[in-house]
Chain A
Amino acid sequence: MIEQTNTEAHIEAVAEGPGERNTRRAFLAAAGVAGLAYTAALAYPIYRYLASPEEMAMEATAVTEVTLKDAQKLPPGAVLMFKFGASPALLIHHQDGRWISMTAVCTHLGCTVQYEPQADRIHCACHGGVYNAYTGANVSGPPPRPLKLFKVAVNEAGVDVSRA
């Protein structure tokens, strides 16, 4: 069996003049750039495809106002969970008649908090964080920041909740 002689090594040995070395380097650099551009052209659609739900969620968080139909019928001492944009929020109708709405995402590690009517407080079951049910202030436990309050407007058709 005759192995084909390595013609390429032969050509390199002849062509390796000082000027050619530069063109060779330029060629390799151009090939590298083209390769990178090619890979990027393949990777970009795949990235956007996989990131689609994230982008949709981002669009949802751009929501500044939510109308809760018939929520004005919520009895005192009761709570309504709803979605403000992409994340959960709560609307509390306190015994004293005050309407309070705030985000329901715990500032500690992102669990969903709950309103406890008998203790009149907001509690996070994950790590025992406690918030004030009127101001959203972090009262005890690990939460580092208060829960953000929303503006509430009650009318005959429902309750409008908007970003403060």
Chain B
Amino acid sequence: MSSKAIYDWVDERLGLSELAAFARHKTVPVHSQSFWYYWGGISLFLFLVQCFTGVLLLVYYRPGAEAYESVRQITFVMHFGWLIRSAHAWSASLMIFSILVHMFSVYFMKAYRKPREFGWLSGMGLLGLASVFGFSGYLLPMDELSYFATKVGLDIPTAIPWIGPVIANMLRGGPDVSEFTVQRFFALHVVVLPAVFLPLLGFHLWLVQRHGNASPPSVEALPPVERKSEPFVPNFMRKDLAMWLIALNILALLASVFPWSLGKPFDPLAPAPLGIHPEWYFMSPFEMLKLLGVVLRGEAGEIAGILLFTLGIALWVLIPFYDTKKEKGQRARAAHYFGLLAVFALLSTTIIGYWTIR
């Protein structure tokens, strides 16, 4: 059988030529803001790195009472275990960073407008899940830092009346962070979250294929003859892959030059170490809640802070539904300023957070 005959046989059953035709016709807009189109792909690549290094860590990791000992073994006994673990930790940070860049570029290009509302919503869902990935993964080594980070993080929902403590106890598996917590965080991190994340990611990527890349309003305002585009295969894809390679090199450099450390094993009787602070991507919300707690005192203030915070996130998530007008107008400008305010709030609270570490 010739290779063409084999191709035809498979094609007849799987419709490969339709896919090939789709790939041939897929184009990407070319304009001064095209650089921002790479960030979704970079996020996807770093997610793939997470899957790969995560499975490698799973080969030796043991949850529960032996968690710390198994991570110590991975870091100090297994060949290159420190590198795999460091790559997983660094790639998590880089992935959150690139998702944030991706989100803000989509926001300021107003790429969430009709017909891309579901793209925005699914993207926000993916960011939310990615932060839960980060939070649950941080506990798994069960060293001093991860113990206290989880303790503090799970203390926040207890401020919600009635259901708060129930939620916190359910997540912890008891009144305090313990072996039970690490066991259920492990189940969450490697089974539940991937099972939810992967289909949502598939949906997100399918939408991108369906609607294509959005052009910023300034480009959309141009007459069709003045808009430029390039084929995805091979032109844009080649640049996309080059970006992946750059991301991989940066990751390899960070992971090997700044290996992730492992602290002392957790001790529920030991006092919190000095200078303890959340991961950089949780610094801003942590600091915002802290600042709101200063402004609005007492238990009522704590609840008000969480409410205000939730309201801000809801406004952000629902932006496609109140910034809908294609023409430049009051509302589009307001959304733009809201975005700038969000960037400012994130950056300033992160800086204040790091500034005030004692």
> Which residues of chain A have C-beta atoms less than 8 A from B81's C-beta?
49, 52
A48 CB-CB contact with B under 8 Å: yes
Given contacts A3-B27, A55-B79, contact A49 B228 (CB under 8 A): no
| Cβ-defined partner of A45 (8 Å) among B30, B77, B80, B230 | B80
The smallest C-beta distance from A39 to any residue of chain B, in angstroms, reads 11
A164 CB-CB contact with B under 8 Å: no
- 1/0 per residue, CB under 8 A from B, across A26-43: the answer is 000000000000000000
Interface size of A by CB at 8 A reads: 12
The smallest C-beta distance from B26 to any residue of chain A, in angstroms, reads 12
A46 CB-CB contact with B under 8 Å: yes
The smallest C-beta distance from A74 to any residue of chain B, in angstroms, reads 34
B30, closest chain A residue (CB):
A4
Assess whether A2 is in contact with B27, with CB atoms less than 8 Å apart. no
> Which residues of chain B have C-beta atoms less than 8 A from A62's C-beta?
none
Cα A46 to Cα B79 in complex, Å, equals 9
Cα A45 to Cα B227 in complex, Å, equals 47
Assess whether A45 is in contact with B83, with CB atoms less than 8 Å apart. yes
> Which residues of chain B have C-beta atoms less than 8 A from A48's C-beta?
79-80
> Which residues of chain A have C-beta atoms less than 8 A from B230's C-beta?
3-4
A14 CB-CB contact with B under 8 Å: no
B249, closest chain A residue (CB):
A38
Cα A46 to Cα B78 in complex, Å, equals 11
Show the binding face of A for B, using Cβ within 8 Å.
1-4, 45-46, 48-52, 55
A-B residue pairs in contact (CB < 8 Å), sample of 20: A1-B27, A1-B224, A2-B225, A2-B227, A2-B228, A2-B229, A3-B27, A3-B229, A4-B30, A4-B230, A45-B79, A45-B84, A46-B56, A48-B80, A49-B79, A49-B81, A49-B83, A50-B59, A51-B79, A52-B77
Apart from A1-B27, A45-B83, A49-B84: 17 A-B pairs, beta carbons within 8 A: A2-B227, A3-B27, A4-B30, A4-B228, A45-B79, A45-B84, A46-B56, A46-B80, A46-B84, A48-B80, A49-B79, A49-B81, A50-B59, A51-B79, A52-B77, A52-B79, A52-B81
